Amino acid sequence: MIVMKFGGTSVGSVERISNVARIISDYRQRGQEIVVVASAMAGVTSDVIRAARLAAQGDSARARQVVSSLRRQHCEVAAIVFGDGAERSDYEAYAEGRFQDLERYCQSYAVLGEITVRSLDQVVGVGESLSVRLLAGSLRQEGTSARAEDATDFVVTDDDFGSAKPLMPLTREKTRARLLPLIEEGVVPVVTGYIGATEDGVPTTLGRGGGDYSAAILGACLDAREVWIWTDVDGILTADPNIVPHARTLEALSYAEAAELAYFGADVLHPKTIRPVEECGIPLRIRNSFNPAHPGTLVADKPGMDRRTVPAIISTKGLCLIAVEGNGDTWTPQLAARALMRLAESGVAVLMFTQSFTERTLSLVVGQRDMESCLRTLKNEF
């Protein structure tokens, strides 16, 4: 069995969803058992978060515009995937219910003037729940039996909202009970990445870009032969090809090497992905959905003594440096902890921080998309 995860760029349009369906169907026709994990269409999760933040800032009109654009986008794709008929009607009814939920939450954010991570987790996975249904429908159009599955039904996590951790024994039990019967019947499960739920059924998320992590969790639970992460590049490269034109694909990496590159910013792989597969000794492969003939990068315990080891340069764009300055002798480590705690509660990912006691400053590195939310949270707190 292979667990295949497809990212947002791979399912970002009708044409790309059809391409993914052909890749899956091709392997299925070769007799390969497959479980699919899919992300939201490219940009959808960011737009959901943007709508929530606009509402919290009091700009409900623009928040509604963002939701309307998302509704229109998914209905247009569904019209092509499903054509006319009952499947399209069912999908549109389901999508409308999810978007109405999102609008209601945006109304509550507007009233409260803030967003909690727990409340955001209730709706931020809407993109995944809609994309898996589109991909499953496209697979059926290819003649491959497929069914969309919501990970909230079997990926059980703790209640660390925004960055939840799986409770593996319970997740393994529920995942096998839910997915193995489908696989035995020849059905391809298409599972939502990024999301799970607590033991009480409260939705959670595994952290931004957590679809890779979802695939590794399912691979470990199902004792998969390999886990494949399909993206838009030929694997992990020695550098960003937009900066270093002659960057090349790394053929093989150890788990430790891949984890180090991921934690230092290799966007092709989520940092938490390695641990579940490493603990079970399951090989991980990063492949290109736009160039499926390429073997990609293999990540394994012992990738081979004869491989050529080369250095890799990791770079990250779109970052902001924000400084919090203390007032005289009132600066304490507790103030820094307070700032970091509030940012975590508001869903702002702090990629790096340093603090200087001599200058009484806390320096934070955040993504450009989180800058406004970060500044607003800090100003409200202090």
Identity at 214, one-letter amino acid code = S
CA–CA gap between residue 319 and residue 338 (Å, rounded) = 22
Which domains are assigned to the chain? Answer: 2-231 (3.40.1160.10), 319-381 (3.30.2130.10)
pLDDT band, residue 305 (cuts 50/70/90): low
**What average pLDDT does range 198-206 have in this prediction?**
96
Note whether 74 and 126 are within 8 A (CB). Answer: no
- Examine the pLDDT at 328 and tell me if it is beyond 70: no
* Matching residue, tokens 């700009």: 59
Q: What is the mean pLDDT of the chain?
A: 92
**What average pLDDT does range 321-347 have in this prediction?**
84
* First-to-last C-alpha distance (Å) of the chain: 52
- Examine the pLDDT at 10 and tell me if it is beyond 70: yes
pLDDT band, residue 327 (cuts 50/70/90): confident
**What average pLDDT does range 250-274 have in this prediction?**
83
Dmax of the chain from CA atoms? 70
- Tokens representing residue 69 in the block: 């654009």
pLDDT tens-place string over residues 18-69: 999 999 999 999 999 999 999 999 999 999 999 999 999 999 999 999 999 9
Q: What is the pTM for the complete model shown?
A: 0.84
- Examine the pLDDT at 7 and tell me if it is beyond 70: yes
Identify the top-confidence range among 214-218, 297-301, 303-307. 214-218
